[in-house]
Structure formats: structure tokens, C-alpha cells
Amino acid sequence: MTIFTYRLTHDTGFAPNPFHNTLTLATCKPGIRSTKKIGHWIAGFSSLELANNADQQGVSISRNALIYLAQISDIMSLGDYYNDKRYGKKIPPQIYNGDAISCAGDNIYCPDPTEPDGYRQISQIHHDSGSKGTDISGVNALICEEFYYLGRKGREIPENISVRVPPGPANYGWKTDNPIAEQSLLQWVKENFGRGRFGFPCLWDGPETLRSRCSE
């Protein structure tokens, strides 16, 4: 197995999106989305910025906590991702429908030949037009059917599991190149957390706050 690690500065349920039985990464991290292969594992760790922001919302998370571990099972262009009915629930509603999870949808780039870059950004609360260039430069949406998303229940991994974790976000991720450490990390996660989504995101606003923001 091959694991690439990076640090999250935000964890709102948008990037990655751990809902509807798959973890997807379709925005942010263009280096990871454009270069990783099916079968690769992605491990997202907390950062000092994320820990500080979570603390302001009353959520305690270590700056070195594992937030998620996921294996890439499919790679799709952003256009194919948008048009695939399996991921229609990840398209955020244009009018809030009472479901905060839907509002966190990451499937926000609709193919549109009238746009110079070929995509129209769906209106939502997480990314404005200023993020579009970075988002679509990643080209792909990563689909992960096997994933372990801990979110605000994330924990520091044992010191004897020596995977390489970068000091900062790491656009392309850091490769560990240590099969024993990689297998040990996966085993530790399997033994301590359930497959799928184990917790809510570190910066999860809650239904009422999301409702007001989605309605804007």
C-alpha cells in the first residue's frame, strides 16, 4: 500500500466530503487530485490552524490528530462526477432543503460550454468564484469507498507508527515509503474506529447555522 499524507487547515465536511457512504475529494488539494492513482491511500492530519479554529468553536482537537484515512477507488473528471447519478446527493441544493449534510456537498462544478474554462460553479457556502481556478486545476474528483473519517474524534497516532507527516498542507502530499508503518497505521485505524464516518467534521457548524448560511 502507498500512503500520502497532508495537513488540513479546514474540516467542514466539504473537502473532504465524508457523507453518503463515500469519501470524496473534489475541491482544494489540486496537486493530490491530479496526480494520485487508484489504490493510493490519502491520510489527512490536523494542523495548528485547524486546531485553533476548532477550539474557537468549542471543539478540542490535537494539531497532530489523524482526521481521515481513505483509499482511492475511482478517479473521475469533475464533469463526469457532476453528471454521475451516484453522486447526485453531493450536489448542494440551491434552496436549503432542511438537510445540513446536503449543504456540505462538494459536487459543485457543472460542465458548461459557455464558460471559458468549461465549468459553471454551483452556488454554495464554501467556495466562491475566487476558488474556482484552484479547484478545477485539480482536474479530478477522487472517490474513496473504503474510508475511515474521524473528524472531531480524531486522535494522534501512536509514536511507533512512523509515517511521514509534513509540517504544512503539502499540496502533493508526502509519501511514507515505509510499508510496515503504512500497514500499522491501517491496522490501528481499523482496530480503533469503524469503517466509514466515525465523527462529525471539526468545524461542523450545526444544522441551524448551516440553514441560515445556505439561505443567503
Q: What is the mean pLDDT of the chain?
A: 92
pLDDT at position 216 over 60:
no
Rounded Cα distance between 131 and 205, Å, is 21
Give the cell for residue 73.
477507488
- Residue 125 has a pLDDT of 83
- Residue 207 has a pLDDT of 56
Domain map of the chain by residue range? Answer: 3-214
- Residue 97 has a pLDDT of 66
Do residues 101 and 90 touch, judged by C-beta distance below 8 A?
Answer: no
CA proximity to 193, closest of 98, 80, 68, 109: 68
User: 52-61, 118-127, 178-187, 205-214: lowest mean pLDDT where?
Assistant: 205-214
* Helix/strand/coil for 88: helix
Q: What is the DSSP string of 27-77?
A: SS-HHHHHH--TT-EEEEEE-HHHHHHHHHTT----TTEEEEEEE--EEEE
Q: What is the pLDDT of residues 103-138, one digit of tens each?
A: 899 999 999 999 999 999 998 888 998 999 999 999
Rounded Cα distance between 189 and 200, Å, is 17
- Residue 84 has a pLDDT of 98
Q: What is the pLDDT of residues 54-112, one digit of tens each?
A: 999 899 999 999 999 999 999 999 999 999 999 999 999 877 666 789 889 999 999 99
Task: Determine if the pTM surpasses 0.75.
Answer: yes
Rounded Cα distance between 166 and 30, Å, is 17
CA proximity to 28, closest of 124, 140, 104, 121: 140
Helix boundaries (H) for 57-178 = 78-83, 100-103, 132-137
**What is the arithmetic mean of pLDDT over 154-178?**
94
